[in-house]
A and B are shown apart, each in its own frame.
Chain A
């Protein structure tokens, strides 16, 4: 492998890893803020206990999301300097704005929230966690604007060997951003809801703290269902935008080689790796045409036609992404998301009224929900990014041109190995802590003590 391949692996690994934690923190910060709001409004102790319990799990995830985020920003310059030179005039702006508007907000108000339980007036303290939540969403918006520009470059002109910004408004209102942002945010809520559902199910099964975890389970399940519906709707719109802007990605998602009218969608295919030969598949008629165009009879362009068209437009070369990855990641994204929704619906049904089901399998399913959105999110990004290949910036800049000439193969290998090993160790530690605190359950709230010399709440 050369430095470029190593950098690609590093980017893939660090990004997927970072994005395991980010959706949890985006969704959970809002849910914790909601629970704390419920406590402030009603004064019910259960809400405070729930706030502290989910807040702790939120913090364990937030920490690792933050520290891995630094790598995300720095590796553009470290491993992808040619890319950075080419797009810096445009791509750097949303990144810098993200820092100034979102990161400062999140980190400052998180410090106030963690350490401010006894120092801030109750409403100000509540506002702090809402600011954190707003910060996480602003952050998502700006980073998705930057990514969307790579998927669908707008508001620029080709200047002296680089892309130059002509309209920041166009970049921030890119149609791709406008469909990707709600899709990602609803997926974040789905993720946090599933986590809530799973952890609550584990406790309910053991008859632990029903007063905290029964409402939490039902809240989590509702969040999964409602957010899941949002993911479906936004995903549907996004598929059409994508088909229009990156038809090759849609064709690769289905491994559709020939242009087809009223194309079917295969749920499952066994065939040769390059997709040219199909041995067995399960198909839904016309679904692909509907997803891609909104019309069951619509025409979906195939890989072969698109390859010919791209060669004519961009010159000789291979414009087909690695199809097995796009094909399976697309299905696994949808499949795992749908499975989480199915389990959430079942959980709501079986816990209606005061019921607590006995079936062991039902509980196992409920607890395993936590993994499904995480997998769906990862496959979603793998699909989005791999489906864009060979381009880093669609239609204007290729991945092969993007690497850092100053970085040797040895350096790139060092980076890849060091970060992968470190991330692996940290994953074990994080999961261990997460399980420990999830199993501990909600804390008891001690009766209000003497106010004068109170020890710090939530101190390190």
Chain B
């Protein structure tokens, strides 16, 4: 296999990992106002993701760094072209990250309310905008012959992209609800489960609409097949939640996210960013990539260190596998 293909796959894996992992901690943040009616239950919800959200967020940093190293043209075009949405995402992630660490550091209801809002908006905004960004990548954007984005800001807010944003928002929220049902015991477990069932009523049609639109626009056989599987996994999450098989339900929403990202990358290939101006201006794995030497070096680094990272991150989830309940939270 060409190294450019290998790196296209690896970057797909990094994004899939990012959405799979940070997807549920975004979801927990989004559900904070709904499920955390008093301070103690909010803290319970936050503590389910406490040990892991930071490491989850690193996936996007590595995805960004890997894109820079393997496909610098893609990195440059994407990040400068999507300047304002990325700026908003960055600011959201900044206040969100600080909120987790700082909200409990002052004994004041106003202080905590402020940071709770930061957690909510800091989770909603990236959950929507990542979807908007990826839908735009898939749809294609105005790129000129120099691979520069010439579209302006409002070009990014087209109906397809907004539906993409809605899809990631719905999926991550559901994923977060299922995660909360999996990681808690007592009233929150039951409540999160019920909420997940209701959220699925929104997530299934929205995601289906987005996947159908994507399939119709691109007519990529493998992409459509993967989308159908993703949709099936999403539907399966509903009875699993109802049966209180939260582990399996979480697996189902996780599989949905991973398959959807895979479908997206499969559909995109061999482009990394198609141009709507002229097909010959498309950014592809070939014209966006680093040299063979750099890709070789990066491949060795990835082959050696990715398994190590996966092992110790997996171990973290094992260490904190216990369900949390209200009585675990110190008053």
Show the binding face of A for B, using Cβ within 8 Å.
59-60, 63-64, 66-71, 73-74, 76-79, 81-82, 84-85, 87-93, 95-101, 103-105, 107-112, 114-116, 119-120, 159, 162, 164-166, 168, 404-407, 411, 414-415, 418-419, 422, 426, 429, 433, 436-437, 453, 455-456, 459-460
Given A107-B58, A110-B54, A97 contacting B301 (CB threshold 8 A): yes
Residue of A nearest to B102 (CB): A433
Of B164-172, B268-276, B311-319, which stretch is located at the interface? Answer: B311-319
Q: Is the CB of B73 within 8 A of A453?
A: no
1/0 contact trace for B47-84 toward A, CB 8 Å? Answer: 10011111101101110111111111101111111011
Known contacts A112-B319, A406-B150; 9 further A-B pairs (Cβ under 8 A)? A67-B93, A69-B61, A81-B77, A82-B76, A84-B68, A90-B294, A96-B70, A168-B297, A426-B94
Q: Which of these, B62, B69, B73, B102, contacts A104 with CB under 8 Å?
A: B62
- B242, chain A: closest CB distance, angstroms: 30
With a CB–CB cut-off of 8 A, which chain A residues contact B148?
Answer: 81, 405-406
Given A70-B94, A111-B54, A116 contacting B87 (CB threshold 8 A): no
Given A96-B298, A100-B309, A67 contacting B97 (CB threshold 8 A): yes
Q: Is the CB of B76 within 8 A of A84?
A: yes
The distance in angstroms between the C-alpha atoms of A110 and B106, with both chains bound, is 22
Q: Is the CB of B309 within 8 A of A104?
A: yes
Q: List 21 A-B contacts (CB under 8 A).
A: A63-B97, A63-B102, A74-B64, A74-B79, A85-B76, A96-B62, A96-B70, A97-B65, A99-B61, A99-B62, A104-B309, A108-B54, A108-B309, A164-B291, A165-B290, A405-B80, A406-B150, A407-B80, A453-B327, A459-B43, A460-B103
Residue of B nearest to A87 (CB): B72
Q: Is the CB of A96 within 8 A of B90?
A: no
- A77, chain B: closest CB distance, angstroms: 3
Q: Is the CB of B302 within 8 A of A411?
A: no
Q: Is the CB of A81 within 8 A of B316?
A: no
Q: Is the CB of A93 within 8 A of B309?
A: no
The distance in angstroms between the C-alpha atoms of A210 and B261, with both chains bound, is 57
With a CB–CB cut-off of 8 A, which chain A residues contact B58?
Answer: 99, 103-104, 107-108
B320: CB under 8 A from chain A? yes
B46: CB under 8 A from chain A? yes
B186: CB under 8 A from chain A? no
Given A79-B80, A100-B62, A71 contacting B90 (CB threshold 8 A): yes
With a CB–CB cut-off of 8 A, which chain B residues contact A115?
Answer: 50-51, 320
Given A166-B293, A460-B46, A455 contacting B91 (CB threshold 8 A): no
Residue of B nearest to A422 (CB): B91
B305: CB under 8 A from chain A? yes
| A-B interface pairs (CB < 8 A), number | 243
Residue of B nearest to A89 (CB): B290
Of A66, A81, A407, most buried by chain B (CB within 10 Å of CB) is: A81
The distance in angstroms between the C-alpha atoms of A147 and B67, with both chains bound, is 19
Residue of A nearest to B327 (CB): A453
Show the binding face of B for A, using Cβ within 8 Å.
43, 46-47, 50-55, 57-58, 60-62, 64-73, 75-81, 83-84, 86-87, 90-91, 93-95, 97-98, 100-106, 146, 148-150, 153, 290-291, 293-294, 297-298, 301-302, 305-306, 309, 312-313, 316, 319-320, 327-330
With a CB–CB cut-off of 8 A, which chain B residues contact A429?
Answer: 98, 102
With a CB–CB cut-off of 8 A, which chain B residues contact A111?
Answer: 50-55, 316
Q: Is the CB of B77 within 8 A of A459?
A: no
Q: Is the CB of B81 within 8 A of A76?
A: no
Label chain A's interface by main secondary structure.
Answer: helix
With a CB–CB cut-off of 8 A, which chain B residues contact A418?
Answer: 87, 91
- B310, chain A: closest CB distance, angstroms: 10
- B304, chain A: closest CB distance, angstroms: 9
Q: Is the CB of A89 within 8 A of B83?
A: no
With a CB–CB cut-off of 8 A, which chain A residues contact B93?
Answer: 67, 70
Q: Is the CB of B62 within 8 A of A459?
A: no
- B125, chain A: closest CB distance, angstroms: 13
Q: Is the CB of A119 within 8 A of B69?
A: no
Residue of B nearest to A119 (CB): B319
Q: Is the CB of B72 within 8 A of A92?
A: yes
With a CB–CB cut-off of 8 A, which chain B residues contact A89?
Answer: 72, 290-291, 294
With a CB–CB cut-off of 8 A, which chain B residues contact A71?
Answer: 90, 94
Residue of B nearest to A84 (CB): B76
User: Which 8 A-B pairs rank lowest in CB-CB distance, beginning with the nearest?
Assistant: A88-B72, A77-B79, A92-B69, A92-B68, A96-B65, A404-B80, A81-B80, A81-B76
With a CB–CB cut-off of 8 A, which chain A residues contact B66?
Answer: 92, 96, 99-100
With a CB–CB cut-off of 8 A, which chain B residues contact A81?
Answer: 76-77, 79-80, 148
With a CB–CB cut-off of 8 A, which chain A residues contact B51?
Answer: 111-112, 114-116
Of A104, A119, A162, A456, most buried by chain B (CB within 10 Å of CB) is: A104
Given A120-B319, A455-B330, A456-B328, A96 contacting B76 (CB threshold 8 A): no
The distance in angstroms between the C-alpha atoms of A421 and B29, with both chains bound, is 24
With a CB–CB cut-off of 8 A, which chain B residues contact A104?
Answer: 55, 58, 62, 309, 312-313
- B16, chain A: closest CB distance, angstroms: 16
With a CB–CB cut-off of 8 A, which chain B residues contact A114?
Answer: 50-51
Q: Is the CB of B50 within 8 A of A64?
A: no
Q: Which of these, B98, B150, B297, contacts A426 with CB under 8 Å?
A: B98
Given A110-B54, A164-B293, A76 contacting B68 (CB threshold 8 A): yes
The distance in angstroms between the C-alpha atoms of A81 and B147, with both chains bound, is 11
Q: Is the CB of A411 within 8 A of B83?
A: yes
Given A92-B75, A168-B297, A426-B98, A411 contacting B309 (CB threshold 8 A): no
Given A60-B105, A67-B97, A92-B75, A460 contacting B47 (CB threshold 8 A): yes
Q: Is the CB of A88 within 8 A of B106?
A: no
The distance in angstroms between the C-alpha atoms of A317 and B237, with both chains bound, is 65
Residue of B nearest to A453 (CB): B327
Of B55, B103, B306, most buried by chain A (CB within 10 Å of CB) is: B55
The distance in angstroms between the C-alpha atoms of A69 and B93, with both chains bound, is 11
- A115, chain B: closest CB distance, angstroms: 4
Residue of A nearest to B325 (CB): A453
Residue of B nearest to A97 (CB): B301
Q: Which of these, B52, B67, B106, contacts A436 with CB under 8 Å?
A: B106
- A14, chain B: closest CB distance, angstroms: 10
Q: Is the CB of B61 within 8 A of A70?
A: yes
Q: Is the CB of A78 within 8 A of B101?
A: no
With a CB–CB cut-off of 8 A, which chain B residues contact A168?
Answer: 294, 297
- B69, chain A: closest CB distance, angstroms: 3
Q: Which of these, A97, A166, A437, A459, contacts B105 with CB under 8 Å?
A: A437
With a CB–CB cut-off of 8 A, which chain B residues contact A433?
Answer: 102, 105-106
The distance in angstroms between the C-alpha atoms of A93 and B291, with both chains bound, is 12
